[in-house]
Structure 1
Amino acid sequence: MDPVLDVDGLSVSFPGPRGTRLPAVEDLGFAVRPGETLAIVGESGCGKSATALALLGLLPPHATATARRLSIAGTELSSADPRTSPEIWRRQRGGRIAMIFQEPLTALNPVLTIGEQVAEAVRAHEPVSWRTARGRALDLLRRVRLPSPERCLEAYPHQLSGGMRQRVVIAMALACRPAVLVADEPTTALDVTVQARVLDLIGEIQRETRAALILITHDLGIVADRADRVLVMYAGRAVETRHARDLFAAPAHPYTRALLAARPRPGWTGPRPRLAEIPGRVPGLAERGAAGCRFAPRCASVLPECHTLRPGPRSVAGGEAACHRVAETTETEEPARAACA
């Protein structure tokens, strides 16, 4: 099955001192097929949200995004600059690719009713009347199982709970049946019960529409439960891309192993040990040199060449990892599995 989203060589940069460009995302590539879920994980500052915004042409004007290939539902967009070709991107957003934003209260317009905002999403892509769009908006609110959808249609965002607002954002994203959904931390600030309901709703809609889903999250439990493949990012680069079951069974990159070791362990009995920590921090944009592995200063398995030679992607079970030690780590799966179980 051909991918509905195909990305190769995606890079995002921001202006730096004295006319330089600072890399936020470098040479990123992935493909997602209809009905597939790709999870993008990594610490804050690794480039996850910048990647999502670049896919929708929503980066701020001072940012620059380039790609060798950026194909969404068969439309090639690598040569279309959102600043000089805004109409091309407007046709894509909501129509072929849509985003479920991290914070629904800031994603919604506080001075428009819910009905006006959902209907506007319909009219942005389809030549229908306000009456027809409003009817579609009501159907969408019912589809995302909002209680009292007729009342919600007339409500303002501040009058709804966090979980209800998130369902409205999902309804807007689904308004024109996009082929690709990008969910950027869709359950942030929601309690555990509401989180599960929102994720179940997204999964149910994905199964119905066969949309490709890019799920950006810090929650590795969600990734293990819902993702087909996982892309691990560190400091703007992909360090590991694999099938979820292979990655959780035997993570190949030291950064992936460190992330898994730092997660809480469900079902633990007896005194709880202190959670493992990754020393140091993600380097800022101005601290990212071109040479070497960017995780080297924090890595417990660092080699001398890690500081000078950038590791290229190497094949591992279910995907690839960019690490000089990949040959060693794939031969010692049991210790890795035991450390991260």
Structure 2
Amino acid sequence: MSPTFNTKSATINMSSLRFLVQLIVLGFAFNLADGQGLKVGFYQKTCPDLESKVKEVVDQVISVAPSLAAPLLRMHFHDCFIRGCDGSVLLESPTNQSEKYAFPNLSLRGFQIIDKVKTAVEKACPMVVSCADILALVARDVTVAIKGPFWEVETGRRDGRVSILNEALTGLIPPSANISILKQGFQQRGLSVKDLVVLSGSHTIGISHCSSFSNRLYNFTGQNDTDPTLDPNYIVKLKIKCNPGDQNSIVEMDPGSVKTFDESYYTLVAKRRGLLQSDAALLDDNETKSYLKFQALNHGPTFFKDFGESMVKMGRIGVLTGTTGEIRKVCTKVN
């Protein structure tokens, strides 16, 4: 769910260590996924046309730029996994020290779409709807717009006033993560092992830069070798697209299905063609492997339902409700 660095194994191990330390700190920094104060239809009286206005903007955008669906969905992930779902990933900083400037967030796109939605909502319901709730609604609507599942979005979040680059730099789970780090990262946020493998299914859409996985092709253990868990035939194809040291070229996460939300991600990972190490790691745990193979072999019979349920749970992480936080007038800055 996050871009990563083009690193050798020693650097990856150090990154993983820093991440685990950060998890311990963040575990005390926000509530887990309980979502107290959230409910479906929170704005029914104060902004009754909210969801239709969000959907209108999203549908128009995705009809002409479907490639924005993946980064807009991922933006909600990145927001919730740092400080909880409080819109902190949207805040800008005159000195580039907020979350959005952290390396793992530099590949996020679509901030202008969030601003466009917020403008439309503010026109109808001034100072009523939080940017954090807009992120959650947009994530659902872009998924639906590319033939993915619909789920009822709980609302009632308020916006945070703090955004720190270093928290995102060290706290977002890197794509180089092994299964232990993945499970720990989700557990710290009140999410289950099932949520981990379900939400990883969002990799059925979008792209990744070569820098996020090229160590698997050229220098997996620092010995100019390849990752033995990656299908050798797939390695040949990836090397055509990613030369050694290539930082900028992009590869589809789910080749041939990059703009359609479906279960084919699980088929790819089952065939050892998961692009990121964090994808391949799902084969290293009995529960994630069992779920993955069930969806792959049976054409994803429960994936859509499960995805909606896990997204609702994720949307409850560390929320600010009631009188905490604020309702930002502009998503990029505190009031």
Superposition TM-score tier, normalisation by shorter sequence = under 0.3
Higher gyration radius (CA): 1
Which one scores higher on RCO, CA 8 angstroms, separation ≥ 6? 2
Q: TM-score normalized by structure 1? A: 0.28
Q: TM-score normalized by structure 2? A: 0.28
